[in-house]
Amino acid sequence: MKLLRMEFFKCRRRKIALICLAFVAVQLAWMGRTLTQMEPGELAQGWMSLLYNLAVIDAVMLPLTISALASRNCELEHKGSTWKLWETVTTPQRLFGAKLAWGAILVGGMLLLRTVLLSLLGLAVGFPTQIPWGKLLLSFALCFGVSFVIYALQQGLSLWFVNQAVPLAVGIFGSFVGLFALFFPQWVQRCVIWGYYGVLIQAGMNWDPVTRATEFYWVQTRPLEFGLLALWMIVVLAVGRGLFVRKEV
């Protein structure tokens, strides 16, 4: 807990909250423009449309946003060359865990705020059906799970490389991969962690090229997807933690 408090105090003036708020603001503006342009007949499927479009936006925005958060959380130690100082008061394992826990709090808070505001936005634009809390909460949990694994990956890179341009480049690469993976079959999406925003999507879409009508439907997540995400989490955490523990300071 002391290490977690230290992470908070270190990051107070690093504009991390501004990154999170900017992410939420852009998503609200993006989704607000999409939802307010819906025809009255499309509003009946509004919640499904919201979750479908949200997964697409997340695949583009979250990898880069998470890489920026991880970099801001880790670059201070590189700039101040304080790794040896840290290892006089704690172990690398505990330091890695504290940074990971702080990152999870940031990402979870950011996604929770986004979910609440988008739910209010859905009510404001006039979605006729009740809020599907089950689907919204499951979507939040799955998005957080994928984002946590990506954060663990980015933290490992940010801790390993002194030059933070490398992990940021990986974040940009992840955004491109996450977007283009949506156009490939699911077996391809499962091969890259950034593709899991599409794998774990809670709503699907059918588009009729003749009538040009769009129909959304709920998607049931299968146990296989949960298992693969858990496997990704175990591998990324084990590799990132192992490299950091063995890092020479």
Give the pLDDT confidence score for residue 83 in this predicted structure.
67
Mean of all residue pLDDT scores within the chain:
86
Confidence of residue 1 (pLDDT cuts 50, 70, 90): confident
CA atoms within 13 A on the CB side of 7: 23
Mean pLDDT within 212-232:
87
Torsion, Cα of 49, 52, 56, 62 (10° steps): 110
Give the pLDDT confidence score for residue 204 in this predicted structure.
86
Confidence of residue 81 (pLDDT cuts 50, 70, 90): low
Give the pLDDT confidence score for residue 248 in this predicted structure.
64
Confidence of residue 106 (pLDDT cuts 50, 70, 90): very high
203, 218 Cβ separation under 8 angstroms: yes
- Domains: count for the chain: 1
> At 112, phi and psi to the nearest 5?
-65, -45
Render pLDDT for 136-156 as a digit per residue (tens, 0 to 9).
999 999 999 999 999 999 999
Say what the pTM is: 0.92
Q: Which domain holds residue 243?
A: 1-247
If we measure between CA atoms, which residue out of 31, 55, 54, 202 comes closest to residue 121? 31
pLDDT of residue 90 exceeding 80, the answer is no
* Those residues with Cβ within 8 angstroms of residue 137's Cβ, 6 or more apart along the chain or in another chain: none
